[in-house]
């Protein structure tokens, strides 16, 4: 049986054929999702079968936004080390017409065209499409307070953003930085500023850093940040940004007082940049992300979307979520590109698996936290264990805390979190694999994991946590 959406794709190509031309795919956004999709479509259809043009408002394609804090800290020397593939490589190797410094400002679904602004020439033009992919990413969340758009206040989402921070560090020689928000980017940028020799204050509205982990795990992160010399202001709300006579930031005002500073970095998270699709009439979700089906197709059959600008399906909570991660963006882009190239692929959803490192502490999480599990309708049991990353007698062994959330009664794994020394965080991938396959903690307990003293105790912390969780399940059954 032919899928209805395949018929719609064939219709798009038929429209082009009636005009005696090659069908045209327009890609909005030249980073992970956009260029993954363009590359996949090109692998399936040659230049004589599909024209591909990608518009990117920035100055680079296919770069690692996750690496920006390490570039700013000095750990990564050059900007280009974060770029996986340059625009000319797409042009030469895959006949993908990448146009930098070109921002798509409007979409006309009826006419099947986009309005593109050439940012250098300050000119606009309309560009037609037969198929469209929206991969506009996410935008840093900016607190709605006076002065938030002042000079010296930086979001960190793109390479161009990172360059602006580096330029400020060089040109202004700041001594003190305030980081607003203690999410992934916030804590990584706080550490980067410490590495650059600045006095760093982190202002967080909530009671802990990294609200993607539970409070007991967040306490350890707070201790590590304080131990590195970061001044952590929890349960503190930003009320405004004060500037000097030159218009540059001089202080952040909070409900607990004023913090003098020379630089402000926004680490308040990011929101899906779905406004372009919403304004065109596409369906968006409660997060502002564009709604897609499993093939990454939007509410318009000729338009696909992928990456941080979309909402996606959480495999445990069974709810729509917006999670800005490069891993998800690349996978969704691949799926969209296969479909845009005439194939068939679906995206099965996410677990929200993520890792980071701050102040020597590794952090990992997957699935649902304790509160999230209850909000999703589960009755969870929780087990927390403390072990070591290696055999206790082997040099370099460090402490690791593992938290497991499972369903009461069945023992089905719902989520896990890890905080600990080097060698700890990537163990979260074992939990993610088990979670993906809907395993119980008893199933996980019997998985044949590797062992050698340089890598783990004979009972790996993952297995200890699974065993303790299963014991709790069995005890409640008795």
Structure tokens at 421: 């020394």
Q: Catalytic residue at 309?
A: no
Distance from C-alpha of 293 to C-alpha of 307, rounded to nearest angstrom: 13
| Residue with the two structure tokens 């930086």 | 154
Distance from C-alpha of 392 to C-alpha of 329, rounded to nearest angstrom: 39
Distance from C-alpha of 406 to C-alpha of 380, rounded to nearest angstrom: 5
CB 292 within 8 A of CB 305: yes
Q: Is 394 exposed, middle or buried (0-12, 13-18, 19+ CB in 10 A)?
A: middle
SS3 state of residue 60? coil
CB 292 within 8 A of CB 272: no
Q: Identify the bridge partners of residue 83 per DSSP, sorted by sequence position.
A: 63
Given the residues 66, 261, 309, 478, the one annotated as active site: 66
Q: Is 452 exposed, middle or buried (0-12, 13-18, 19+ CB in 10 A)?
A: exposed
CB 154 within 8 A of CB 162: no
| Strand 231-233 to 199-203 pairing | parallel
Q: Which of 388, 260, 344 is nearest to 2 (CA)?
A: 344
Q: Is 77 exposed, middle or buried (0-12, 13-18, 19+ CB in 10 A)?
A: exposed
Helices (H), 267-412: 275-280, 326-340, 370-375
CB 202 within 8 A of CB 190: yes
Distance from C-alpha of 155 to C-alpha of 49, rounded to nearest angstrom: 40
SS3 state of residue 383? strand
Annotated catalytic sites, by residue? 66
């Amino acid at each position: 049986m032919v899928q209805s959406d395949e018929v719609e794709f064939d219709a798009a190509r038929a429209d082009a054929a009636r005009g005696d031309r090659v069908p045209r795919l327009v890609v909005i956004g030249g980073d992970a999702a956009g260029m993954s999709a363009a590359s996949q479509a090109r692998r399936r259809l040659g230049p004589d079968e599909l024209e591909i043009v990608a518009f990117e408002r920035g100055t680079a394609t296919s770069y690692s936004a996750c690496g920006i804090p390490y570039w700013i800290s000095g750990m990564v020397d050059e900007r280009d080390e974060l770029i996986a593939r340059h625009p000319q490589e797409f042009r030469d190797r895959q006949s993908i017409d990448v146009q930098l410094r070109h921002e798509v400002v409007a979409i006309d679904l009826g006419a099947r065209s986009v309005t593109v602004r050439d940012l250098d020439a300050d000119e606009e033009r309309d560009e037609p499409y037969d198929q469209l992919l929206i991969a506009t990413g996410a935008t840093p969340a900016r607190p709605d307070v006076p002065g938030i758009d002042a000079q010296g206040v930086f979001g960190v989402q793109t390479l161009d953003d990172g360059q602006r921070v580096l330029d400020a560090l060089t040109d202004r020689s700041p001594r003190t930085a305030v980081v607003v928000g203690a999410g992934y980017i916030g804590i990584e940028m706080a550490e980067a500023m410490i590495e650059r020799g600045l006095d760093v204050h982190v202002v967080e509205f909530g009671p802990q850093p990294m609200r993607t982990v539970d409070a007991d795990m967040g306490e350890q992160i707070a201790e590590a940040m304080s131990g590195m010399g970061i001044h952590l202001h929890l349960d503190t709300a930003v009320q405004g940004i004060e500037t000097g006579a030159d218009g540059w930031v001089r202080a952040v005002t909070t409900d607990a007082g004023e913090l003098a500073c020379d630089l402000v970095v926004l680490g308040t998270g990011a929101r899906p940049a779905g406004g372009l699709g919403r304004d065109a009439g596409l369906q968006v979700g409660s997060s502002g992300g564009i709604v897609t089906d499993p093939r990454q197709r939007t509410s318009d059959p000729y338009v696909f979307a992928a990456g941080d600008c979309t909402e996606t399906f959480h495999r445990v909570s069974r709810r729509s979520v917006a999670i800005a991660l490069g891993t998800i963006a690349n996978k969704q882009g691949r799926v969209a590109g296969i479909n845009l190239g005439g194939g068939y692929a679906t995206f099965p959803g996410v677990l929200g698996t993520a890792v980071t490192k701050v102040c020597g502490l590794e952090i990992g999480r997957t699935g649902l936290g304790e509160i999230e599990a209850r909000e999703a309708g589960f009755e969870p049991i929780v087990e927390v264990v403390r072990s070591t990353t290696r055999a206790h007698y082997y040099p370099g062994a460090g402490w690791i805390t593992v938290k497991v959330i499972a369903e009461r009664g069945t023992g089905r794994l719902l989520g896990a979190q890890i905080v600990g020394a080097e060698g700890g965080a990537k163990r979260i991938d074992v939990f993610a694999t088990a979670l993906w396959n809907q395993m119980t903690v008893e199933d996980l307990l019997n998985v044949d994991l590797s062992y050698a003293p340089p890598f783990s105790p004979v009972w790996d912390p993952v297995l200890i946590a699974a065993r303790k969780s299963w014991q709790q399940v069995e005890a409640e059954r008795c």
